[in-house]
Amino acid sequence: MQFFGIIKQGKITLTQSQKLLRGHFLASIKDDTRIVEVIERDTKPKTYAQVKTIFGLAIAQIVAEFSDRGWDSSMLLNLNKPTGIPISQGLLKEFLYAVCPIYDENDKWITLSKTDTRQAAKFFDEVRNYAASQWSIYIAEPNPNWKQENGRDEKASG
């Protein structure tokens, strides 16, 4: 069973209804029964625009590097002879889904459009690591202060 609260002064604060539900749940369990309580941060779901931008920029950078180096799809397929088929963003995206698969909490394969922030960040890190280790392509970390540095901070401008 999951309960959602917030941290205040280092303690979990639950709504009254959450407290009641938790109390009823615990009272329904027999004495000496082993249980597990997991505490984790509740991540905000990412927006489509965020995922599209971060992943899109990584894909675009990899495709540009492949083009600059004169590499074609033979690099993805690990072939000794060139195929003459350039790497498209769509082909690269499908390839990265295969080599850096994303799974949901039920171990079902999903695409980026179905991820939460944590899963999307993990996938992006895996793509960055794969590009660096296999193709020597460095993809920078997204800059979390980009809005502020580019004068787009709504709090600062409002």
The stretch 126-137 carries a mean pLDDT of 93
CA–CA gap between residue 81 and residue 72 (Å, rounded): 10
Indicate if the pLDDT at residue 104 is higher than 80: yes
In contact, 59 and 128? CB cutoff 8 Å: no
Q: What is the pLDDT of residue 71?
A: 93
Confidence of residue 49 (pLDDT cuts 50, 70, 90): low
Q: What is the pLDDT of residue 5?
A: 81
Indicate if the pLDDT at residue 92 is higher than 90: yes
Rounded to two decimals, what is the model's pTM?
0.61
Q: Where are the alpha helices (DSSP H) in 16-116?
A: 16-27, 48-69, 74-77, 89-99
CA–CA gap between residue 66 and residue 86 (Å, rounded): 9
Q: What is the pLDDT of residues 53-84, one digit of tens each?
A: 778 888 999 999 999 999 999 988 889 999 99
Confidence of residue 19 (pLDDT cuts 50, 70, 90): confident
The stretch 94-117 carries a mean pLDDT of 88
Q: What are the angstrom distances between the C-alpha of 8 and each of 1, 11, 13, 15?
A: 22, 5, 7, 12
DSSP tag of 80: S
DSSP tag of 47: P
Confidence of residue 3 (pLDDT cuts 50, 70, 90): confident
The stretch 98-105 carries a mean pLDDT of 90
Which residue, 104, 103, 105, 96, is CA-closest to 126? 96
Q: What is the pLDDT of residue 16?
A: 84
Percent of the chain with pLDDT strictly greater than 90: 39
The stretch 106-122 carries a mean pLDDT of 84
Question: What is the pLDDT of the chain when averaged over all its residues?
Answer: 83
